[in-house]
Chain A
Amino acid sequence: MNYGNPFTARTQLKLSPFFERTSELNESQEWRRWSGYLAATNYELTHENEYFAIRTKAALLDITPLYKYIIEGPAAQPFLDRLVTRNIGICKVGQVMYTPWCDENGKQIDDGTVQRLTDQKFRITSAEPNLEWIETNAIGMDLTITDDSKTTAALALQGPNSRAILNIIASDTLDNLKFFWMMETRFGDIPVSISRTGYTGDLGYEIWMDPKDALSVWDLFMDKGKPFGITPTGLQALDMARIEAGLILLDVDYISSRHAIVETRKSSPYELGLGWAVKMKKKDFIGKKALETELAQGSEWEFVGIDIQWAELENHYRNVGLAPGLPGTAWRTSTPLYKGNKQVGYATSGCWSPILKRYIALAHVKSDYAQSGSTLDFELKVEHYRKVTPAIVVKTPFFDPERKRSCP
């Protein structure tokens, strides 16, 4: 339909190669921007079925907007080992590693996955554009860097039924594909790569393909996946799932050190709960010195889960004659955490978890107050008045089903 406005969605924002299908399926016509793309907020008028598809059936998400770079050449592995904090030297062909990367001061720039496609060829994904950072650090090295963002389309198929669907469609069985490994296979005559990765903390896969095959692959999934409850899923449901899985989101839970403006906005991987991904035994990598110092001295902040206690929260609402009024979707408003009268942290994203039946959030907490089991006060607005209600520090992930890692 033409309303006489030349600035339609088609001209303002990038469209994914799946847009022809997703735009038809999006009943709510609610869209968000994701890396300059139009991305479905939810397909149905409410996100609930999509959320439960992730946790109990199979959710199909268009993740094409991810930034993707191909790094290829004899120096690709040594270069990546310098760039990121994980040990890429031990990453085998067909393996995938989740990793943060930092600036020279050990402050985190971004996080993503590194796929080892061949001995000398890698794909790295990121939330923000990183081409300039990658190129700057690769000067003089024997490798090529290609922006793969538009040349590879990607879908995520997440949820307990995802393997069953892929086993019907793919030429090879997925039964032996382990968590954070990938394989090459075909859907009929369409070549695809499948990695057992995702942003939901559930059994799930990401499917990487040539954009020209995008619509055929989408149609295959929707057709063969129907008896397994496949559900096109938007970002609102994904946001809840990733909070349950304790997975951080750039620009929500932390700010890239390259855009932070002020020092206090920056975080190190240790301060984001990613200490496990910093491999100090590696020879050298960007930010190592600063991170060594931080490791020796201890970090100022920790990134933790908090469990906002229901009974007390309910009392706050009962006192004003109301049932608890929680948002039905994930929130992203920085919310203060106190110990006594002193603010000791802030929660950056949270949601009511329908699967756990708990009100959970991810939070930055001063290290002295971040021990698991300690109680903090979470700020809450009840009928326009500020209150505090107890929240207990817990380990993440909140939700970690066995099926995420297991093979049949």
Chain B
Amino acid sequence: MSLVNKYDAIVIGGGHNGLTAAAYLARAGKKVLVLERRYVLGGAAVTEEVFPGFKYSVCSYVVSLLKPNIIRELMLPKFGLELLPLESTFTPLDNDYLLRTADEDQTYREISRHSPRDAETYMRFGPLMGQIGMAVRPILETIAPNIMRPSLSDLGAMKKLLNHFKTLSNEQFEYLTKLMTMSSADFLDEWFEFEPLKATMCSSGIIGTFMGPRSPGSAYVMLHHYMGDIDGAFRSWGFQRGGTGAVSMAIARSAEQFGADILTEAAVGKVIVKNGSAVGVVLENGDEYQADKVISGLDPKLSFLKMVDESDLPSDFVTDIKNFRIRGSSGKVNLALDGLPNFTSLPGDGPHLRGAISISPSYDYLEKAYDDAKYGNFSQEPYMDIILPSVIDPGMAPPGKHVMSCFVQYAPYDIKGGWDDQKREDFGDTVINALARYAPNIKDIILHRQVLTPADLESTFGLTEGNIFHGELTLQQLFVMRPAVKWANYKTPITNYYQCGSGTHPGGGVTGSPGEMAAKKILKDW
């Protein structure tokens, strides 16, 4: 084997977390290689021109949780990170609508049109969630300790966290406890009365999760989405110019500038394990690469049940990974449009098309959508989180044309009879019909449609069962339990084999955080 194929570290998977880990390792002077199976980098944070002239943020479509210190330390603005504001949320209803914008007065007036009480409460709710976010942040920024056999630094980290919790106000503590345990619907019921407002707010508690708004635990997922950190302050969502793939590309260019090598169309077949220690990888085409450390950016199922042999792992760990819940619950429909959708309740162009469009008229609507999924069907009337990227960034489509990104829930991975081409088309039709209820012209302006089912998300992007978070963000799978107890600190039972994907602490979303913290842990251990 030639010396060229010997690296300090190899990262499996060029998703945004793998690239982040690679960038940090390269920044520390390590010789790093990233191996990506597809022709394009980014994993699920990818932009592709699926239909000529139209760019789709194929999977992940908005950015809010990307950590500010990563942006600074990897100098991402220099490499193309440009986050555009996406600050309105439009909930079309059958004969009316709810529109929240970046302007407080406008939003107050609009909500009070439906409920004066809610309008007032709303002004207090955002800042409170911001404070709760601040309270949780130290947990997210701590490398999860091994609570079974804590090291000295683990004990230090735990003590630091305990001290932090002592500084929380009673209010912060109360709401934090509630958010950790309640359903998002119950939690919001304590605050608001206008159903479409509550339903739209609680929808961030079900995104990517196989739970309904009334399922306990969904409130945490809502909080997870509230920790948006754009611009350093606690803020809402943004859209990357050029699509989410441009975030990954910015990280990749940063990594390359620090000296990392990145290969695409280089699918890793297996991690080479010798005497309980990872020593390299072998590609599906037979090429071998050696490395002192191998880091998997894949989800826990792939990292441990595919990339290595079960026999190399302790059986209790294998059981934990097998039990790790990773059920996919969502699909994605991307549309190329000849014009703008025209909403019956708020016709024409306007600020309501510049942000999120949420099909979430009521709790019952969402819960019924979940009911379908529970019994193995996709939702007949699905929840949707929609954006029109080309309205925010005209470069996403030819002049005057548009692209539309629809995140659709629920679409269970385990659908009755399994997913096939017919079911995919049926699912696509259902989505368009649900949309046409509020914007009837949609059917006439579609130039191209890309429908991704959980099965497609698995086969194309390597997301096991199509789960966008590499595993559900439920309490039993967070922090010291993600992905398994004792192994939440990015290490694995195999020496020199590490993990850095969304299946590790602090979880999913385009945060870069697992990649960053894994790299920092690896460098500490080196």
| Bound CA–CA A314/B81 (angstroms) | 22
Within 8 Å of chain B (Cβ to Cβ): is A324? yes
Within 8 Å of chain A (Cβ to Cβ): is B71? yes
Residue of A nearest to B104 (CB): A45
**Residue from A46, A326, A357 whose CB has the most chain B CB atoms within 10 Å:** A357
| Bound CA–CA A355/B241 (angstroms) | 11
| Bound CA–CA A358/B78 (angstroms) | 11
A45-B101, A48-B87 known; A357-B69 Cβ under 8 A: no
Q: Are B77 and A355 in contact (CB under 8 A)?
A: yes
Within 8 Å of chain B (Cβ to Cβ): is A52? yes
B255 to chain A, nearest CB (A): 18
A45-B106, A324-B233 known; A161-B394 Cβ under 8 A: yes
Which residues of A308-326 have CB atoms within 8 Å of chain B's CB atoms? 310-311, 314, 318, 321-326
Which residues of B393-418 have CB atoms within 8 Å of chain A's CB atoms? 393-394, 399-400
Within 8 Å of chain A (Cβ to Cβ): is B155? no
**Looking at the complex, which one of B77, B102, B106 makes contact with A357 (CB distance below 8 Å)?**
B77
- Please report the total number of B residues contacting A with Cβ < 8 Å: 33
Within 8 Å of chain B (Cβ to Cβ): is A228? yes
Residue of B nearest to A227 (CB): B399
Which residues of B164-193 have CB atoms within 8 Å of chain A's CB atoms? 167, 169
A232 to chain B, nearest CB (A): 14
Which residues of A281-336 have CB atoms within 8 Å of chain B's CB atoms? 310-311, 314, 318, 321-326
Q: Are B234 and A52 in contact (CB under 8 A)?
A: no
Q: Are B84 and A56 in contact (CB under 8 A)?
A: yes
Q: Which residues of B contact A46 (CB under 8 A)?
A: 102-103
Which residues of A31-58 have CB atoms within 8 Å of chain B's CB atoms? 44-46, 48-49, 52, 55-57
| Bound CA–CA A324/B77 (angstroms) | 20
Within 8 Å of chain B (Cβ to Cβ): is A229? yes
Q: Which residues of B contact A356 (CB under 8 A)?
A: 77
Q: Which residues of B contact A352 (CB under 8 A)?
A: 231-232
A355-B77, A355-B82, A357-B231 known; A310-B101 Cβ under 8 A: no
| Bound CA–CA A294/B462 (angstroms) | 66
Q: Which residues of B contact A325 (CB under 8 A)?
A: 233
Within 8 Å of chain A (Cβ to Cβ): is B352? no
Within 8 Å of chain B (Cβ to Cβ): is A354? yes
Residue of B nearest to A53 (CB): B84
Q: Are A228 and B130 in contact (CB under 8 A)?
A: no
Within 8 Å of chain A (Cβ to Cβ): is B72? yes
Which residues of B45-93 have CB atoms within 8 Å of chain A's CB atoms? 68-69, 71-72, 76-77, 81-85, 87
A317 to chain B, nearest CB (A): 9
Q: Are B354 and A56 in contact (CB under 8 A)?
A: no
B242 to chain A, nearest CB (A): 9
Within 8 Å of chain A (Cβ to Cβ): is B134? yes
- Please report the total number of A residues contacting B with Cβ < 8 Å: 30
**Looking at the complex, which one of B82, B231, B351 makes contact with A55 (CB distance below 8 Å)?**
B82
B212 to chain A, nearest CB (A): 31
Q: Which residues of A contact B82 (CB under 8 A)?
A: 55-56, 355
Q: Which residues of A contact B120 (CB under 8 A)?
A: none
| Bound CA–CA A3/B81 (angstroms) | 49
Q: Are B399 and A310 in contact (CB under 8 A)?
A: no
Q: Are B72 and A357 in contact (CB under 8 A)?
A: yes
Q: Which residues of B contact A52 (CB under 8 A)?
A: 84-85
B477 to chain A, nearest CB (A): 28
Q: Are A56 and B399 in contact (CB under 8 A)?
A: no
Which residues of A117-169 have CB atoms within 8 Å of chain B's CB atoms? 161
| Bound CA–CA A356/B78 (angstroms) | 8
Within 8 Å of chain A (Cβ to Cβ): is B320? no
A225 to chain B, nearest CB (A): 10
Query: B231-243, CB under 8 A of A: which get 1 and which 0?
Result: 1111000000100
Query: B332-371, CB under 8 A of A: which get 1 and which 0?
Result: 0000000000000000000100100000000000000000
Q: Are A326 and B68 in contact (CB under 8 A)?
A: no
Q: Which residues of A contact B103 (CB under 8 A)?
A: 45-46
Q: Are B241 and A357 in contact (CB under 8 A)?
A: no
Residue of A nearest to B87 (CB): A48
B465 to chain A, nearest CB (A): 35
Within 8 Å of chain A (Cβ to Cβ): is B426? no
**Looking at the complex, which one of B76, B106, B131, B394 makes contact with A229 (CB distance below 8 Å)?**
B394
A166 to chain B, nearest CB (A): 14
**Residue from A52, A228, A314 whose CB has the most chain B CB atoms within 10 Å:** A52
Q: Which residues of B contact A355 (CB under 8 A)?
A: 77, 82
Q: Are A49 and B105 in contact (CB under 8 A)?
A: no
Q: Which residues of A contact B101 (CB under 8 A)?
A: 45
Residue of A nearest to B399 (CB): A227
Q: Which residues of A contact B131 (CB under 8 A)?
A: 321
Residue of A nearest to B394 (CB): A229
B473 to chain A, nearest CB (A): 23
**Looking at the complex, which one of B232, B233, B394 makes contact with A228 (CB distance below 8 Å)?**
B394
A48-B102, A229-B394, A314-B232 known; A357-B354 Cβ under 8 A: no
B232 to chain A, nearest CB (A): 6
**Looking at the complex, which one of B130, B233, B393, B394 makes contact with A227 (CB distance below 8 Å)?**
B394
Q: State the A residues within 8 Å of B (CB).
A: 44-46, 48-49, 52, 55-57, 161, 226-229, 310-311, 314, 318, 321-326, 352, 354-358
> What 5 new A-B contacts, CB under 8 Å, besides A318-B134, A357-B81?
A56-B241, A229-B394, A321-B131, A322-B134, A354-B231
**18 A-B contacts (beta carbon < 8 Å):** A44-B351, A45-B105, A55-B82, A56-B84, A161-B394, A227-B400, A310-B68, A310-B72, A318-B134, A321-B131, A321-B134, A322-B134, A323-B234, A325-B233, A352-B231, A355-B82, A356-B77, A357-B231
Q: Which 7 A-B pairs have the closest CB atoms?
A: A227-B399, A45-B103, A229-B394, A227-B400, A48-B85, A356-B77, A323-B234
